[in-house]
């Protein structure tokens, strides 16, 4: 019987290891998922800034055209002014007034353009920053993916080898009734269901064990089922 008890305890140890490996397998891709999510965030920010930059570039082009148009107009009016075609004083004054107005407008456009150019430089800096961050994150993700896949393979192999061990252990079990009880309990309660007892309290349900159960445990060196929680108990002092 003692040999059988050891077999059950070994089986339970193997099942604990299998459960732990399975839990581990589930958590392994979490780090990878986190990095993936971070990458996506950086990518979205980069796309947003790139779009904003494009809009600014369109705006700048329009302003540059506007500036050229004003320069052309000034040039044309100056030709009229100094070309000698116009001789009427009133008309000449009017021309000077128009040129003055265009020059003012041109100055304003040039000021706007300077602000846009500064903005454009800032955009480029930010975009380069995001591009570099994205490159780093993508490298980090690839590295993590490789590590995760290697660890998953390792874990799967470990579970396979544990399952083989399990099969061999089960072949050594004489009492199929206990095995069935064990498997049923493990499925229902999870975790350890074969428990070592050294006093009159069940370590599974924490209730007092009847004296005949304790006596049976102590004297027979066998596995006894707790009348309260049905876990399998073994006496070990």
Residue 229 C-beta: closest distance to Zn ion, Å: 3
**226 lies in the site for Zn ion, by CB under 5 A:** yes
Query: Between 159 and 202, whose beta carbon lies closer to Zn ion?
Result: 202
Residue 224 DSSP symbol: E
Residue 1 C-beta: closest distance to Zn ion, Å: 21
Query: Would strands 232-235 and 194-197 be described as parallel, antiparallel, or unpaired?
Result: parallel
Q: Which helix (H) or strand (E) holds 228?
A: none
**Region near Zn ion per CB under 5 A, out of 58-66, 99-107, 145-153, 224-232:** 224-232
**202 lies in the site for Zn ion, by CB under 5 A:** yes
Residue 45 C-beta: closest distance to Zn ion, Å: 56
Question: 14, 204, 214, 217: which one contacts Zn ion (CB under 5 A)?
Answer: 204
**158 lies in the site for Zn ion, by CB under 5 A:** no
Question: 205, 216, 222, 225: which one contacts Zn ion (CB under 5 A)?
Answer: 205
**Region near Zn ion per CB under 5 A, out of 50-58, 117-125, 140-148, 220-228:** 220-228
**228 lies in the site for Zn ion, by CB under 5 A:** yes
**Region near Zn ion per CB under 5 A, out of 47-55, 71-79, 128-136, 223-231:** 223-231
**18 lies in the site for Zn ion, by CB under 5 A:** no
Cβ 46 vs Cβ 134: under 8 Å: yes
Residue 227 C-beta: closest distance to Zn ion, Å: 8
127-164: burial string, b at 16+ Cβ within 10 Å, e else: beebeebbeebeeebeebeeebeeeeeebeebbeebee
Indicate the burial class of 171 (C-beta count within 10 angstroms; 0-12, 13-18, 19 or more).
Answer: exposed
Query: Between 39 and 228, whose beta carbon lies closer to Zn ion?
Result: 228
Q: How far apart are CA 35 and CA 27, in angstroms?
A: 14
Closest to 223 measured CA to CA, from 193, 166, 174, 178? 178
**Region near Zn ion per CB under 5 A, out of 16-24, 40-48, 82-90, 204-212:** 204-212
Q: Which helix (H) or strand (E) holds 233?
A: strand 232-235
Q: How far apart are CA 24 and CA 36, in angstroms?
A: 20
Q: How far apart are CA 138 and CA 96, in angstroms?
A: 62
Count residues near Zn ion (CB under 5 A).
6
Query: Between 32 and 202, whose beta carbon lies closer to Zn ion?
Result: 202
Contact footprint for Zn ion (CB under 5 A): 202, 204-205, 226, 228-229
């Amino acid at each position: 019987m003692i040999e059988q008890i050891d077999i059950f305890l070994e089986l339970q140890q193997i099942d604990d290891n299998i459960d732990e490996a399975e839990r581990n397998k589930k958590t392994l891709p979490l780090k990878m998922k986190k990095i993936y999510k971070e990458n996506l965030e950086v990518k979205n920010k980069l796309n947003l800034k790139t779009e904003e930059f494009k809009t600014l570039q369109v705006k700048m082009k329009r302003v540059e055209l506007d500036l050229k148009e004003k320069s052309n107009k000034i040039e044309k009016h100056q030709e009229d002014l100094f070309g000698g075609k116009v001789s009427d004083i009133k008309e000449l004054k009017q021309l000077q007034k128009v040129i003055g107005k265009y020059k003012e407008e041109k100055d304003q456009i040039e000021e706007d353009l300077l602000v846009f150019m500064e903005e454009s430089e800032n955009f480029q800096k930010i975009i380069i920053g995001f591009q570099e961050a994205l490159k780093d994150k993508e490298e980090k993700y690839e590295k993590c993916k490789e590590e995760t896949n290697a660890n998953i393979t390792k874990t799967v192999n470990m579970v396979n080898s544990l399952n083989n061990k399990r099969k061999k252990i089960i072949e050594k079990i004489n009492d199929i009734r206990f095995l069935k009880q064990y498997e049923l309990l493990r499925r229902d309660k999870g975790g350890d269901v074969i428990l070592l007892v050294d006093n009159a309290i069940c370590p599974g349900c924490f209730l007092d064990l009847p004296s005949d159960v304790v006596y049976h445990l102590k004297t027979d060196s066998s596995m006894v089922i707790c009348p309260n929680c049905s876990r399998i108990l073994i006496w070990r002092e």
